[in-house]
């Protein structure tokens, strides 16, 4: 007979994160479909100096921004992992997750605007990449278990 009370593992609901993910994907698809329709039906909307710039410069800026974003995300995740309280850690991760999805939506909006304004195929390519990569953001139990670095926490 043990005298210590049994401590139950913390249980966290992924419902809010999954709802945010589905809204994020729906918004991305709406933006992308609108941009593709406008790309197909209209000539470049505005004859700007953007049409004269090599679109690969924007592509490499996009890659550089992605690398910087990845490195800063790693710092934030390290900070979140160092939080002692599991409930606080989960709450911080939820906030980080929502900010990350909002930042991705703004990235797609910028790419869609550039696609419509310049009518360059490289922006369609970038838009496609930006639609495929965020699928990895789906809040999975295994991903969060690595964040918590313990098998004690349960995710439903």
Give the model's pLDDT for residue 121: 85
Closest to 81 measured CA to CA, from 69, 70, 93, 71: 93
Give the model's pLDDT for residue 55: 74
Residue 129 burial by CB count (10 A; 0-12/13-18/19+): exposed, middle or buried? middle
Of all helices (H) and strands (E), which one includes residue 155? Answer: strand 154-155
Structure tokens at 97: 């997750």
Give the model's pLDDT for residue 108: 92
Give the model's pLDDT for residue 3: 46
Q: Where are the domains of the chain?
A: 12-42+52-155
Residues 6+ apart with CB under 8 A from 155: 11, 12, 13, 14, 141, 144, 145
Please tell me the pTM assigned to this model: 0.77
Per-residue pLDDT of the chain (156 residues; tens, 9 = 90+): 444 444 556 677 788 888 888 999 999 999 999 999 988 887 665 556 666 667 777 778 888 888 888 888 889 888 888 887 878 888 888 888 888 888 889 989 998 988 888 888 888 888 998 888 888 888 887 777 777 766 666 676
Give the model's pLDDT for residue 153: 64
Give the model's pLDDT for residue 103: 87
């Amino acid at each position: 007979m043990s005298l210590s009370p049994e401590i139950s593992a913390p249980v966290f609901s992924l419902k809010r994160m999954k709802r945010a993910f589905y809204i994020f994907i729906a918004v991305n698809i709406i933006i992308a479909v609108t941009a593709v329709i406008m790309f197909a039906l209209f000539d470049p909307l505005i004859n700007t100096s953007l049409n004269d710039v090599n679109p690969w410069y924007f592509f490499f800026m996009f890659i550089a921004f992605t690398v910087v974003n990845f490195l800063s995300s790693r710092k934030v995740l390290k900070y979140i992992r160092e939080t002692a309280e599991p409930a606080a850690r989960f709450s911080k991760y939820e906030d980080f997750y929502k900010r990350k999805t909002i930042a991705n939506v703004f990235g797609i909006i910028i790419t869609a605007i550039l696609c419509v304004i310049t009518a360059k195929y490289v922006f369609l390519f970038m838009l496609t990449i930006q639609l495929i990569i965020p699928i990895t953001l789906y809040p999975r139990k295994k991903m969060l278990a690595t964040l918590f670095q313990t098998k004690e926490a349960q995710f439903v």
